[in-house]
Structure 1
Amino acid sequence: MILVTGAIVASAATFDEVLRLSNEHVERSRAEPGCISHAVFRDTENPQRLVFFEQWADAAALKAHFVVPASRAFAKAVGALAVEPPSIEIYDAQPVEPAKL
């Protein structure tokens, strides 16, 4: 499984538009093949910051997601509205049984 985390910090003036675009992106992404989950959350310590958490079946599904024209348009649009460069981190993860910890 591939895990993706990311964050976007908007200004007070652009936050509503960044949130709208982010929600559209999440909904669209959930319908893509290989998307296990895709969500956006508002940071409780910085209300201008949105945090993304995604789970993808494999690297091929994530790569396909990155080349969807709407995904590229989303990244370009929110990047232009952000007050700092958006962040993204990608992890190759395997589930662990809690009892094995």
Structure 2
Amino acid sequence: MTILITATMDLDPAHAERIILGARELIEASLEEPGCEAYSWALDPLHPGRVHVFERWVDEASLAHHFTLPNYTEMRTHLRSAGPIVSRSRKFRVDLEEPIYDETGTPRADFFTAAG
């Protein structure tokens, strides 16, 4: 079962770029973990100081292991160096995955390959 994590953090804009650049080694370490398929942090070009996080894990065990590692705890410490942070993070279990485009190249919002 795939697990997706999304987060939005609003940092002091004066520190946001430093936080992202300074997190590179921690992000790379997370990407090397077994079960981590994606781990991306990005500055929002329209909201100064806003950081978007996207993670993709193969299962709960992989995510649980991630939470025990130094790169996870060091990231939390690194983020606190930016001062007050307003954040929202959520995890999602994915039970179905499909392409966006059907065989004709048409984008589809419905889940068209699932047995009805």
Alignment TM-score > 0.5, same fold? yes
Q: Is this contact kept in 1: 2:42–2:52, CA < 8 A?
A: yes
Cα deviation digits, residues 30-72 of structure 1 (max 9, x gap):
1001001111122122131110101000011001101101211
Q: Is this contact kept in 2: 1:9–1:82, CA < 8 A?
A: no
Report the CA distance shift for 1:97/1:12 in structure 2 as closer, same or farther (over 3 A): closer
- Pairs aligned (count): 101
Structure 1: stretches of 5+ with no match in the other structure: none
- Which residue matches 2:71? 70
| Cα separation, 1, equivalents of 2:45 and 2:15 | 18
Deviation at 1:19, TM superposition (A): 1.1
Q: Is this contact kept in 2: 1:21–1:78, CA < 8 A?
A: no
Report the CA distance shift for 1:22/1:95 in structure 2 as closer, same or farther (over 3 A): farther
| Cα separation, 1, equivalents of 2:53 and 2:78 | 16
Percentage identity across paired residues of the two chains:
25
- Which residue matches 1:3? 4
**Larger Cα-atom Rg:** 2
TM normalised by structure 1 equals: 0.83
Higher relative contact order (CA 8 A, sep 6+): 1
1:89 aligns with 2:90: yes
SS at match of 1:95: coil
Structure 2: stretches of 5+ with no match in the other structure: 103-110
